[in-house]
Amino acid sequence: MGAWGVLRRIGVLAALSLLATPLTGPSQAASAKDTLRAVPQGGAVRLSALRDDTRYRDTFLREFDSLTPENGLKMAALQPRRGRFDFTAADELVDFARRHGKAVHGHALVWGLSLPLWLVDHGASDQLGLRLPPIVLPRLPGALGQGLAEGATVLTGWRRDELLAIMRTHIATVMRHFAGRVAEWDVVNEPMAADGGPAPSVWRRFIGPDYVELALRAARAADPKAKLFINEFGVEGPGRKLEGLLELVRHLRARDVPLDGIGLQMHSHILGFHDQATLEHTMRRFAALGLEVQVTEMDVGTSLLDALALDRLARQAEAYGAAARACNAVAACKRFTTWGITDRLSWIGAGEAPLLFDAAYRPKPAFAAVRSAFAPRRAKPAAARQSRRWRWRAGTGARCGWGSCSGLRAGRG
């Protein structure tokens, strides 16, 4: 048989093979991939560690999908002098992430802590040319903590219009600089007090409680494509603070204020953490308001004098597993981030051993618990999804959006 005959026979066999293949779409491998839901896992990182520690860098690149700068995008780092922005280190960090295919979660544009001193002392130190570190007030309980925060801001003496211009300029400058490179931002960080009211800060005192709305509107104007978040701690379970945040979100929604998501920080401890059901319920309450949810800063402290190390690690794994399973169970939960990578560089100290990798970069039981919780799973068959969609439309004729249907009520960082 000549060469042409061989080619003809190969072609016929190939055609018969295709005809014998069921015409049900892509291959089994591709189909399985399309029906899996994966929750990206992020880590808060330090630029100095990425530069100097190969194990730190390799662990991040191997095990994490996204990057949140621990401090590199905060106001104290980006605007150390009034009106003078320094993006050198931040650009290096963001470019590193993009070069390695990692998403960046911007943290944070407006916060009452980690401020440049010129913002707290009304520019006195800036006018003297003093390059002093940012102010980080200790978090003290109850009236003592509130009094300290109030005292630190009352001395600054800003006019509303002056401070509002500073806030808007900072948001616009930073977001426009990173437009197209940072796709989501914690626009306002920790706006809530424990009693459910607005937390004391220089922004709240001299602009007013509407600074949250004004910051979000400024952020949307600066980068219309970016997702905008409010990021908060201590709102994962029932309490006045959670109800206060939900009420704030409803107020913003009623005024058509741009807001895309809520970050649940989830700083926790093995002595007290929320179970999966509680966390799911909280996430679904925000989802019902039309918001994306992210776990943004999780760590679980383990310091106990009367417990064996293995017991502490088991409890820690239980806490991480509950949070990860809750996130995986709620479709609105789009990312799961830990506040750090290794116990060696945790913001609360290596002794707390709060992260997924120990000080020697070995994965802990908590790491296995998180990965197990996010194990791929198949979605419902397409036919079932179509049937449910038809019944919903035929049965109600409603159009749902933003958590409601017509006629129905629907150091951390």
Just list the catalytic residues: 190, 297
Amino acid at 132: L
The full DSSP string for 104-154 is: EEEEEEEESSSB-HHHHTTTHHHHTT--PPPB------HHHHHHHHHHHHH
How far apart are the C-alpha atoms of 326 and 11, rounded to whole Å?
A: 52
Supply angle C-alpha 321, 277, 107, rounded to 5: 60
Handedness of CA 185, 332, 285, 391 (dihedral sign): positive
